[in-house]
Amino acid sequence: MSSDQNNLGKSRSKGLCPISRIDLDKPFKERTPRERRVRFHFYSIRLVAFIHLLIAIGIPLYMQGYLPTLALVMFVIINLSISLLLNRFSLLGYRIAVVYYFVFGMVSTLTIQRGNGEQLIGIILALLSLYLIGNQTSKSMFDRSIEAQD
């Protein structure tokens, strides 16, 4: 455990991002297409984590009276944990998020006949989130197997 933190400290002192292993001091125009793709997925994971935080805050405000209190608490706990774990680039957060998006997409797909079209928005959001979190570049950041480019 301490060796991982020690390695992260060494990476930071060299100017390398400990997650994406990209030189942080390199200007955007000098980055390779691979480095640009990795940084795009890095920031998109952070954006998805922030959106989960907003959902966790907004669910009790918006759905008060529509859902039982226990359901509201569970949604808040799930979204807060996904937000925290994705922000820390935890492999557990990756797995929970992928299952969450898959289930959310399946529920939206199964209930599309009874709605007024709002399920289509859920399907699009689930697919977009699955792409941003579930692609190979993002997964390699979560399991720390992304290779540094020389």
Task: Please state, rounded to an integer, the average pLDDT across all residues of the chain.
Answer: 84
Model confidence at 2: pLDDT above 70: no
The residue ranking higher by pLDDT, 95 or 19, is 95
pLDDT digits 0-9 by tens, 32-90: 898 899 889 999 999 999 999 999 999 888 888 888 989 899 999 999 999 999 999 99
CB within 8 Å of 42: residues ≥ 6 apart: 17, 19, 20, 141
**Calpha distance 105→120 (Å, rounded):** 9
Q: What pLDDT shows up at residue 1?
A: 43
Extract the tokens encoding 108: 């939206």
Confidence of residue 29 (pLDDT cuts 50, 70, 90): confident
**Calpha distance 88→27 (Å, rounded):** 25
Helix or strand (DSSP H, E) at 91: helix 91-110
Model confidence at 28: pLDDT above 90: no
CB within 8 Å of 52: residues ≥ 6 apart: 79, 80, 82, 83, 86
Contact between 82 and 97 (Cβ < 8 Å): yes
